[in-house]
Amino acid sequence: MDLVAPLAPAAVELVALTKRYAQGAPAVDNINLRIASGSYCCLLGPSGCGKSTTLRMIAGHETVTSGDILLENRNITTLPAAARGTAMMFQSFALFPHLSALDNVAFSLKMKGVDKPTRHKQAQDLLERVAMGHLAQRKPGELSGGQQQRVALARALITQPRVLLLDEPLSALDPFLRIQMRAELRRWQKELGLTFIHVTHSQEEAMALADTMVVMNQGLIEQVGSPHEVYNAPATEFIARFMGGHNVIATAAGKIAVRNDHMQIASAGDGGIGKPRSGAPGIPGTITDVEYQGTYVLLGLQAQDSAGAKGISVMLPEAAYTAQPFVLGESVHLSWTDRHAHALAA
Protein backbone atom coordinates (compact mmCIF):
# COMPACT_ATOMS: atom_id res chain seq x y z
CA MET A 1 0.00 0.00 0.00
CA ASP A 2 1.31 3.44 -0.94
CA LEU A 3 1.30 5.86 1.95
CA VAL A 4 0.98 9.60 1.46
CA ALA A 5 3.46 11.54 3.58
CA PRO A 6 1.69 13.83 6.03
CA LEU A 7 1.91 17.57 5.47
CA ALA A 8 4.36 19.45 7.67
CA PRO A 9 2.60 20.98 10.67
CA ALA A 10 1.24 24.43 9.89
CA ALA A 11 1.46 27.27 12.36
CA VAL A 12 -1.02 29.27 10.28
CA GLU A 13 -3.43 28.06 7.63
CA LEU A 14 -5.62 30.31 5.49
CA VAL A 15 -8.64 28.63 3.92
CA ALA A 16 -10.51 30.39 1.10
CA LEU A 17 -9.75 33.68 2.85
CA THR A 18 -11.50 36.69 1.33
CA LYS A 19 -11.78 40.36 2.20
CA ARG A 20 -14.24 42.60 0.37
CA TYR A 21 -14.91 46.25 1.00
CA ALA A 22 -18.11 48.06 0.03
CA GLN A 23 -17.07 48.71 -3.55
CA GLY A 24 -14.55 47.46 -6.05
CA ALA A 25 -12.62 44.23 -6.47
CA PRO A 26 -11.84 42.12 -3.38
CA ALA A 27 -8.71 43.19 -1.53
CA VAL A 28 -7.96 39.50 -0.85
CA ASP A 29 -9.64 36.99 -3.12
CA ASN A 30 -10.21 33.42 -1.90
CA ILE A 31 -6.60 32.60 -1.01
CA ASN A 32 -5.32 29.35 0.49
CA LEU A 33 -1.97 29.13 2.27
CA ARG A 34 -0.15 26.89 4.78
CA ILE A 35 2.75 28.44 6.72
CA ALA A 36 4.98 25.86 8.39
CA SER A 37 5.54 26.05 12.12
CA GLY A 38 8.81 27.72 13.07
CA SER A 39 9.38 29.17 9.60
CA TYR A 40 10.04 32.69 8.35
CA CYS A 41 7.39 33.58 5.76
CA CYS A 42 7.41 36.78 3.70
CA LEU A 43 4.30 38.12 1.98
CA LEU A 44 5.68 40.02 -1.00
CA GLY A 45 4.08 42.15 -3.65
CA PRO A 46 3.45 45.68 -4.91
CA SER A 47 1.30 48.23 -3.10
CA GLY A 48 -2.37 47.26 -3.13
CA CYS A 49 -1.78 43.54 -3.74
CA GLY A 50 -3.49 42.45 -0.49
CA LYS A 51 -0.46 41.46 1.60
CA SER A 52 -1.03 43.92 4.47
CA THR A 53 -4.77 43.19 4.49
CA THR A 54 -3.95 39.49 4.81
CA LEU A 55 -1.61 40.19 7.73
CA ARG A 56 -4.21 42.36 9.48
CA MET A 57 -6.83 39.62 9.11
CA ILE A 58 -4.45 37.10 10.71
CA ALA A 59 -3.83 39.60 13.53
CA GLY A 60 -7.52 40.27 14.10
CA HIS A 61 -7.22 43.94 13.13
CA GLU A 62 -9.36 43.43 10.01
CA THR A 63 -12.60 41.47 9.79
CA VAL A 64 -12.84 38.50 7.42
CA THR A 65 -15.52 38.58 4.72
CA SER A 66 -15.40 34.81 4.21
CA GLY A 67 -13.04 31.90 4.78
CA ASP A 68 -11.09 30.77 7.82
CA ILE A 69 -7.84 31.42 9.67
CA LEU A 70 -6.37 28.54 11.67
CA LEU A 71 -3.52 28.83 14.16
CA GLU A 72 -2.12 25.43 15.11
CA ASN A 73 -5.41 23.83 14.00
CA ARG A 74 -7.47 26.24 16.15
CA ASN A 75 -9.95 28.40 14.25
CA ILE A 76 -9.21 32.01 15.24
CA THR A 77 -11.20 33.74 12.48
CA THR A 78 -13.59 35.58 14.78
CA LEU A 79 -11.49 35.79 17.96
CA PRO A 80 -10.38 39.21 19.25
CA ALA A 81 -6.75 40.09 18.57
CA ALA A 82 -5.65 39.57 22.17
CA ALA A 83 -7.00 36.00 22.24
CA ARG A 84 -5.35 34.72 19.05
CA GLY A 85 -1.81 33.89 20.12
CA THR A 86 -0.32 36.38 17.66
CA ALA A 87 1.53 39.67 18.17
CA MET A 88 2.10 42.50 15.69
CA MET A 89 5.15 44.67 15.03
CA PHE A 90 4.03 47.78 13.20
CA GLN A 91 5.91 49.80 10.59
CA SER A 92 5.87 52.90 12.83
CA PHE A 93 6.87 50.87 15.95
CA ALA A 94 3.97 52.70 17.75
CA LEU A 95 5.87 53.18 21.02
CA PHE A 96 4.40 55.44 23.71
CA PRO A 97 6.64 58.54 23.64
CA HIS A 98 6.10 59.40 27.34
CA LEU A 99 7.07 55.94 28.63
CA SER A 100 10.53 54.45 29.08
CA ALA A 101 11.61 51.48 26.99
CA LEU A 102 11.00 49.28 30.05
CA ASP A 103 7.44 50.55 30.56
CA ASN A 104 6.68 50.32 26.84
CA VAL A 105 7.62 46.64 26.89
CA ALA A 106 5.72 46.01 30.13
CA PHE A 107 2.58 47.91 29.11
CA SER A 108 0.47 44.94 27.99
CA LEU A 109 1.19 43.13 31.27
CA LYS A 110 0.14 46.25 33.16
CA MET A 111 -3.18 46.19 31.31
CA LYS A 112 -3.63 42.57 32.42
CA GLY A 113 -3.12 43.54 36.06
CA VAL A 114 0.35 42.01 36.50
CA ASP A 115 2.14 43.59 39.47
CA LYS A 116 4.93 46.07 38.79
CA PRO A 117 7.94 44.01 40.01
CA THR A 118 6.85 40.97 37.96
CA ARG A 119 6.12 42.86 34.76
CA HIS A 120 9.32 44.92 35.02
CA LYS A 121 11.41 41.78 35.51
CA GLN A 122 9.90 40.14 32.42
CA ALA A 123 10.32 43.34 30.41
CA GLN A 124 13.94 43.75 31.53
CA ASP A 125 14.71 40.12 30.59
CA LEU A 126 13.36 40.69 27.08
CA LEU A 127 15.24 43.96 26.68
CA GLU A 128 18.44 42.13 27.66
CA ARG A 129 17.66 39.51 25.02
CA VAL A 130 17.49 42.15 22.28
CA ALA A 131 20.61 43.97 23.56
CA MET A 132 18.63 46.90 24.98
CA GLY A 133 18.85 46.21 28.72
CA HIS A 134 21.29 49.05 29.31
CA LEU A 135 18.86 51.55 27.76
CA ALA A 136 15.74 50.40 29.60
CA GLN A 137 15.08 53.81 31.17
CA ARG A 138 15.35 55.81 27.96
CA LYS A 139 12.27 57.12 26.20
CA PRO A 140 11.69 56.44 22.47
CA GLY A 141 12.79 59.96 21.49
CA GLU A 142 16.21 59.22 22.98
CA LEU A 143 16.67 56.05 20.92
CA SER A 144 17.79 55.47 17.34
CA GLY A 145 15.50 53.82 14.79
CA GLY A 146 17.20 50.46 15.24
CA GLN A 147 16.97 50.72 19.02
CA GLN A 148 13.27 51.59 18.82
CA GLN A 149 12.73 48.52 16.67
CA ARG A 150 14.36 46.30 19.29
CA VAL A 151 12.06 47.77 21.94
CA ALA A 152 9.05 47.15 19.67
CA LEU A 153 10.15 43.55 19.20
CA ALA A 154 10.53 43.01 22.95
CA ARG A 155 7.08 44.53 23.51
CA ALA A 156 5.56 42.12 20.98
CA LEU A 157 7.33 39.12 22.53
CA ILE A 158 6.20 39.80 26.11
CA THR A 159 2.75 38.42 25.27
CA GLN A 160 4.43 35.07 24.43
CA PRO A 161 2.89 34.77 20.95
CA ARG A 162 3.04 31.64 18.83
CA VAL A 163 3.24 33.77 15.68
CA LEU A 164 4.88 37.18 15.25
CA LEU A 165 3.42 39.39 12.52
CA LEU A 166 5.65 42.10 11.03
CA ASP A 167 4.17 44.86 8.86
CA GLU A 168 7.00 46.40 6.81
CA PRO A 169 9.18 46.61 9.97
CA LEU A 170 12.33 47.79 8.16
CA SER A 171 10.90 50.40 5.78
CA ALA A 172 11.44 53.33 8.18
CA LEU A 173 15.17 52.58 8.56
CA ASP A 174 18.06 53.87 6.47
CA PRO A 175 19.55 51.38 3.95
CA PHE A 176 22.62 50.43 6.03
CA LEU A 177 20.60 49.87 9.20
CA ARG A 178 17.96 47.96 7.24
CA ILE A 179 20.56 45.39 6.20
CA GLN A 180 21.84 45.10 9.77
CA MET A 181 18.37 44.74 11.27
CA ARG A 182 17.16 42.11 8.83
CA ALA A 183 20.10 39.92 9.87
CA GLU A 184 19.07 40.43 13.50
CA LEU A 185 15.43 39.58 12.73
CA ARG A 186 16.51 36.35 11.11
CA ARG A 187 18.74 35.48 14.07
CA TRP A 188 15.99 36.23 16.59
CA GLN A 189 13.49 34.12 14.66
CA LYS A 190 15.84 31.14 14.73
CA GLU A 191 16.72 31.58 18.41
CA LEU A 192 13.10 31.98 19.50
CA GLY A 193 11.76 29.20 17.28
CA LEU A 194 8.66 31.26 16.50
CA THR A 195 6.81 31.56 13.22
CA PHE A 196 7.40 34.99 11.65
CA ILE A 197 5.05 36.37 8.97
CA HIS A 198 6.63 39.46 7.45
CA VAL A 199 5.01 41.81 4.92
CA THR A 200 7.36 43.63 2.56
CA HIS A 201 7.44 45.16 -0.91
CA SER A 202 11.22 44.62 -1.12
CA GLN A 203 12.32 41.64 -3.17
CA GLU A 204 15.82 41.82 -1.71
CA GLU A 205 14.47 41.82 1.84
CA ALA A 206 12.20 38.85 1.21
CA MET A 207 14.96 36.79 -0.41
CA ALA A 208 17.35 37.55 2.47
CA LEU A 209 14.88 36.60 5.21
CA ALA A 210 12.35 34.06 4.02
CA ASP A 211 12.16 30.31 4.21
CA THR A 212 8.95 30.74 2.22
CA MET A 213 8.04 33.59 -0.12
CA VAL A 214 4.39 34.24 -0.95
CA VAL A 215 4.11 36.54 -3.98
CA MET A 216 0.77 38.34 -4.21
CA ASN A 217 -0.84 40.36 -6.99
CA GLN A 218 -4.31 41.94 -7.13
CA GLY A 219 -5.57 40.06 -4.09
CA LEU A 220 -4.34 36.66 -5.31
CA ILE A 221 -1.36 34.44 -4.52
CA GLU A 222 0.64 33.96 -7.71
CA GLN A 223 3.42 31.76 -6.34
CA VAL A 224 4.62 30.16 -3.11
CA GLY A 225 8.13 28.77 -2.76
CA SER A 226 11.60 29.25 -1.39
CA PRO A 227 13.49 32.36 -2.56
CA HIS A 228 15.61 30.12 -4.79
CA GLU A 229 12.53 28.54 -6.38
CA VAL A 230 10.71 31.82 -6.97
CA TYR A 231 13.73 33.63 -8.37
CA ASN A 232 14.94 30.83 -10.62
CA ALA A 233 11.54 29.53 -11.72
CA PRO A 234 9.01 32.40 -11.70
CA ALA A 235 5.54 31.04 -12.39
CA THR A 236 4.17 34.01 -14.34
CA GLU A 237 5.26 37.03 -16.33
CA PHE A 238 4.21 39.26 -13.44
CA ILE A 239 6.54 37.45 -11.03
CA ALA A 240 9.45 37.44 -13.48
CA ARG A 241 9.14 41.20 -13.95
CA PHE A 242 8.38 42.00 -10.30
CA MET A 243 11.33 39.99 -8.97
CA GLY A 244 13.65 41.78 -11.38
CA GLY A 245 16.77 40.41 -13.02
CA HIS A 246 14.74 38.55 -15.67
CA ASN A 247 13.98 39.15 -19.32
CA VAL A 248 10.57 38.10 -20.57
CA ILE A 249 10.84 37.00 -24.18
CA ALA A 250 8.08 35.94 -26.56
CA THR A 251 8.77 32.79 -28.59
CA ALA A 252 6.66 30.67 -30.92
CA ALA A 253 5.93 28.32 -28.02
CA GLY A 254 4.95 31.09 -25.58
CA LYS A 255 6.72 33.44 -23.20
CA ILE A 256 9.94 32.52 -21.40
CA ALA A 257 11.97 34.14 -18.67
CA VAL A 258 15.78 34.28 -18.86
CA ARG A 259 17.87 35.77 -16.06
CA ASN A 260 19.88 38.74 -17.25
CA ASP A 261 23.11 37.20 -15.99
CA HIS A 262 22.42 34.17 -18.21
CA MET A 263 22.06 36.22 -21.38
CA GLN A 264 24.82 36.09 -23.97
CA ILE A 265 25.67 39.19 -25.96
CA ALA A 266 27.89 39.76 -29.00
CA SER A 267 28.48 42.73 -31.24
CA ALA A 268 26.52 42.42 -34.47
CA GLY A 269 29.76 42.71 -36.40
CA ASP A 270 31.69 40.34 -34.15
CA GLY A 271 33.70 37.83 -36.09
CA GLY A 272 33.64 35.21 -33.38
CA ILE A 273 34.17 36.43 -29.80
CA GLY A 274 30.96 35.77 -27.93
CA LYS A 275 29.16 34.90 -31.16
CA PRO A 276 26.19 32.55 -30.49
CA ARG A 277 26.37 29.13 -31.99
CA SER A 278 24.51 28.50 -35.21
CA GLY A 279 20.81 27.83 -34.64
CA ALA A 280 20.84 29.13 -31.03
CA PRO A 281 17.79 31.12 -30.00
CA GLY A 282 18.45 34.83 -30.16
CA ILE A 283 17.30 38.30 -31.11
CA PRO A 284 19.00 41.45 -32.43
CA GLY A 285 19.09 44.53 -30.23
CA THR A 286 20.56 47.97 -29.64
CA ILE A 287 22.40 49.20 -26.52
CA THR A 288 20.34 51.94 -24.85
CA ASP A 289 21.97 52.17 -21.41
CA VAL A 290 25.25 51.25 -19.70
CA GLU A 291 25.38 51.26 -15.87
CA TYR A 292 28.57 50.51 -13.98
CA GLN A 293 27.70 48.71 -10.70
CA GLY A 294 31.17 47.82 -9.41
CA THR A 295 31.39 44.05 -9.70
CA TYR A 296 29.21 44.04 -12.80
CA VAL A 297 27.96 46.25 -15.63
CA LEU A 298 24.24 46.35 -16.43
CA LEU A 299 23.38 46.89 -20.08
CA GLY A 300 19.95 48.10 -21.11
CA LEU A 301 18.85 47.15 -24.62
CA GLN A 302 15.94 47.57 -26.97
CA ALA A 303 15.23 44.42 -28.91
CA GLN A 304 14.64 44.94 -32.61
CA ASP A 305 11.53 42.78 -32.74
CA SER A 306 8.35 42.21 -30.75
CA ALA A 307 10.10 39.85 -28.34
CA GLY A 308 11.65 42.74 -26.49
CA ALA A 309 8.97 45.42 -26.64
CA LYS A 310 9.52 46.24 -22.96
CA GLY A 311 13.30 46.22 -23.15
CA ILE A 312 16.00 43.74 -22.27
CA SER A 313 18.84 43.83 -19.75
CA VAL A 314 22.14 41.97 -19.65
CA MET A 315 24.39 41.69 -16.60
CA LEU A 316 28.07 41.29 -17.43
CA PRO A 317 30.89 40.70 -14.93
CA GLU A 318 33.15 43.75 -14.78
CA ALA A 319 36.07 41.80 -16.23
CA ALA A 320 34.00 40.59 -19.20
CA TYR A 321 32.80 44.11 -19.97
CA THR A 322 36.31 45.51 -19.67
CA ALA A 323 37.59 42.88 -22.12
CA GLN A 324 34.84 43.71 -24.62
CA PRO A 325 33.07 47.01 -23.82
CA PHE A 326 29.78 47.93 -25.48
CA VAL A 327 28.71 51.48 -26.24
CA LEU A 328 25.41 53.30 -26.52
CA GLY A 329 23.72 52.79 -29.87
CA GLU A 330 25.75 49.68 -30.72
CA SER A 331 23.94 46.88 -32.55
CA VAL A 332 24.29 43.52 -30.85
CA HIS A 333 22.97 39.99 -30.95
CA LEU A 334 21.38 38.51 -27.79
CA SER A 335 21.10 34.81 -27.15
CA TRP A 336 20.57 32.24 -24.40
CA THR A 337 20.77 28.51 -23.89
CA ASP A 338 17.68 26.36 -23.54
CA ARG A 339 18.63 25.23 -20.03
CA HIS A 340 18.53 28.84 -18.83
CA ALA A 341 15.08 29.56 -20.30
CA HIS A 342 12.08 29.07 -18.03
CA ALA A 343 8.59 28.75 -19.53
CA LEU A 344 5.96 31.06 -18.02
CA ALA A 345 2.31 30.26 -17.48
CA ALA A 346 -0.01 31.77 -20.04
The arrangement of strands across the sheet holding 28-36 comes to 28-36, 10-19, 66-71, 74-75
CA 55, CA 131: separation in Å to the nearest integer? 28
Residue 1 clears pLDDT 70, i.e. is over it: no
Per DSSP bridges, beta strands 66-71 and 312-317 are: unpaired
**pLDDT at position 62:** 95
pLDDT in tens, 48-83: 999 999 999 999 999 999 999 999 999 999 999 989
| 121 — pLDDT class (breaks 50, 70, 90) | very high
Per DSSP bridges, beta strands 296-303 and 246-251 are: unpaired
Pick the CATH number of 246-343 from 3.50.50.60, 3.20.20.370, 2.40.50.100, 1.10.10.10: 2.40.50.100
Q: Which residue has the higher pLDDT, 22 or 195?
A: 195
Q: Are 313 and 248 in contact (CB under 8 A)?
A: no
CA 190, CA 150: separation in Å to the nearest integer? 16
Q: Which residue has the higher pLDDT, 283 or 310?
A: 283
Residue 309 clears pLDDT 80, i.e. is over it: no
| Average pLDDT of span 192-217 | 95
- At 42, the amino acid letter reads C
Positive/negative CA dihedral, 120, 122, 125, 131: negative
Domain ranges of the chain: 10-232, 246-343
- At 284, the amino acid letter reads P
Contacts for 278 with CB less than 8 Å, ≥ 6 apart: none
The arrangement of strands across the sheet holding 163-167 comes to 86-89, 163-167, 195-200, 40-44, 212-217, 220-225
CATH fold of the domain at 10-232 = Rossmann fold (3.40.50)
pLDDT in tens, 310-335: 679 999 999 999 998 999 999 999 99
Q: What average pLDDT is seen over the chain?
A: 89
**What string of H, E and C letters represents the secondary structure of the chain?**
CCCCCCCCCEEEEEEEEEECCCCCCCCEEEEEEEEECCCEEEEECCCCCCHHHHHHHHHCCCCCCEEEEEECCEECCCCCHHHCCEEEECCCCCCCCCCCHHHHHHHHHHHCCCCHHHHHHHHHHHHHHCCCHHHCCCCHHHCCHHHHHHHHHHHHHCCCCCEEEEECCCCCCCHHHHHHHHHHHHHHHHHHCCEEEEEECCHHHHHHHCCEEEEEECCEEEEEECHHHHHHCCCCHHHHHHHCCEEEEEECCEEEEEEHHHCEEEECCCCCCCCCCCCCCEEEEEEEEEEECCCEEEEEEEECCHHHCCCEEEEEEHHHHHHCCCCCCCEEEEECCHHHEEECCC
pLDDT in tens, 215-254: 999 999 999 999 999 999 999 999 999 999 999 998 888 8
